[in-house]
Structure 1
Amino acid sequence: MSDKKDEIFEDQAQVDETFEDVLAEEIDELEALRAERDELRDRFMRALADAENARKRADKERREAENYGGSKLARDMLPVFDALHRALEAATDEVRAAAGPMIEGVELTQRELLNVFARHGIKALAPEVGEKFDPQIHEAMFEAPVPNTVAGDIIQVMEKGFMLHDRLLRPAKVGVSSMPKS
């Protein structure tokens, strides 16, 4: 009976050893699967973040194209406005009396051009004489010492500037005082 008992214990020891080997293999495999899962989760989260960033970037580019895509055409239309403005400025009272309907047509054309500009987010920058020069929206064409002005004050406006939404399309061209107030 002792032989049988020894045999059973030997068999049990082999079973225990086999069980421990299988358990160790299963634990190793489980750890490998957890590592793979964590790596795949990380890659998935990064891909999700990349996709979200790409969507946001595309939305921003779409909005910019919508708002600023016509800036070249708008910039090319500014000389048309300037020509209409100069024509109206040059019209004397005598010309207005003689060619009233034509002058009125030019005024209506200029007004309609400004309406079209406004519909597309283009605003005129019309600085006033006496305002402070701002290099962000004005371009100094000359400097002159003008009595009773402060250095940096606008003394003459030669050409209006224009903004397209929040971007400068063309700076206002101005003359600036170089003389301190006396």
Structure 2
Amino acid sequence: MPAPYKPATEGRINNAERDVALEIRLDTETPVIAIGDPIFLIVTIRNVGPNRVWLPQQPTVLISWIYPDGIHDNFLKELREEERLAPHQLVCLEPNQQISQRVEVRTYYFDRLGVTEFRALLHTGRNTNPDTGPTWMGRLQSNSFGVRIERRTKKKMSDFRIVNGDAPDQPDA
């Protein structure tokens, strides 16, 4: 049996699934964080096809990750196979147009240091509303993004000192 995959690459990895109509991309502004700090992921869904695409305004995006030791984890979300979407709940993406959403991952319960690899999964069920046109449905995985998670450094009391007026740096000064 082969050894489990263990992430080692920091930053964006170009391994996203492709669809004839859509692309989903995952990025972050903070590729290195300390355990306990939140990671803010940016999930971008772009129309890469020649035709307009209709999507839910708030599409279901599942965030999953692989810890440095190869263990998989994710946010639990209900993935519906069918949903009834009203016209005001849909957004039209013209060719090359995109929508983005920011997702926060809290890391206070992470207990492994090293590179953790994140991915986003777009899931859209069949729209059962006959009053709307066809909407995109299916599953599509984003690229992976490796974030280095480091030990939190201990701060010195001097890091928090607020000085008003003349204050000595040493007790005898």
- Normalising by the smaller structure, the TM-score range is under 0.3
Higher relative contact order (CA 8 A, sep 6+): 2
Which structure carries more strand by proportion?
A: 2
Which structure carries more helix by proportion?
A: 1
Alignment TM-score, normalising by the size of structure 2? 0.21
Alignment TM-score, normalising by the size of structure 1? 0.21
